[in-house]
């Protein structure tokens, strides 16, 4: 990754499939984001943000993987123009917006730990 690239990794207490579905819905609700592809098989999303007065544009890649207790999410944002070493923190701001949208969308899904507790109580 170059200087203008950003990456964030986080863990959430939701199943990988629920996390991917919430992420896909969240990304589609962000007005400046265009989802290029979303694969439920590999749980990956490729998206882009177009050029604006404040940015040369960005390529966004997101992957969701299973981890103990839920899902691991990796969000990468790379400037479309490699010469753009300084981007004014736009990549980090856009990642924060994606994570915030994901967090709001995940509120509709059951947490893994709650699901496990429910299954244990019924047996």
The pLDDT assigned to 2 comes to: 45
List the structure tokens of 34.
Answer: 């265009």
Nearest to 20 by CA among 2, 3, 41: 41
Burial (Cβ within 10 Å: 0-12, 13-18, ≥19) of residue 2:
exposed
The pLDDT assigned to 120 comes to: 43
* Least trusted range by pLDDT, from 5-14, 60-69, 74-83, 114-123: 114-123
List the structure tokens of 75.
Answer: 């969000």
DSSP label of 19 = H
pLDDT tens column, 83-117: 545 545 677 888 999 999 999 999 999 988 654 44
The pLDDT assigned to 4 comes to: 60
Whole-angstrom CA distances from 27 to 11, 54, 83, 116, 122 are 18, 20, 27, 28, 36
pLDDT tens column, 47-72: 998 776 556 688 999 999 999 999 99
What DSSP assignment string belongs to 36-101?
Answer: EEEETTTTEEEEEE--BTTBS-EEEEEEEEEETTEEEEEEEEEESSTT----TTHHHHHHHHHHHH
């Amino acid at each position: 990754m170059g200087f203008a690239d950003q990456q964030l990794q986080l863990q959430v207490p939701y199943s990988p499939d629920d996390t991917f579905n919430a992420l896909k819905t969240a990304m589609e609700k962000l007005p400046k984001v265009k989802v290029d592809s979303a694969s439920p098989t590999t749980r990956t999303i490729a998206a882009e943000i177009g050029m604006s007065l404040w940015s040369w544009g960005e390529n966004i890649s997101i992957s969701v993987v299973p981890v103990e207790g839920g899902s691991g999410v990796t969000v990468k944002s790379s400037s479309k123009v490699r010469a753009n070493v300084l981007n004014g923190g736009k990549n980090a701001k856009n990642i924060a917006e994606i994570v915030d949208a994901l967090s709001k969308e995940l509120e509709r899904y059951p947490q893994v730990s709650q699901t496990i507790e429910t299954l244990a109580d019924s047996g």
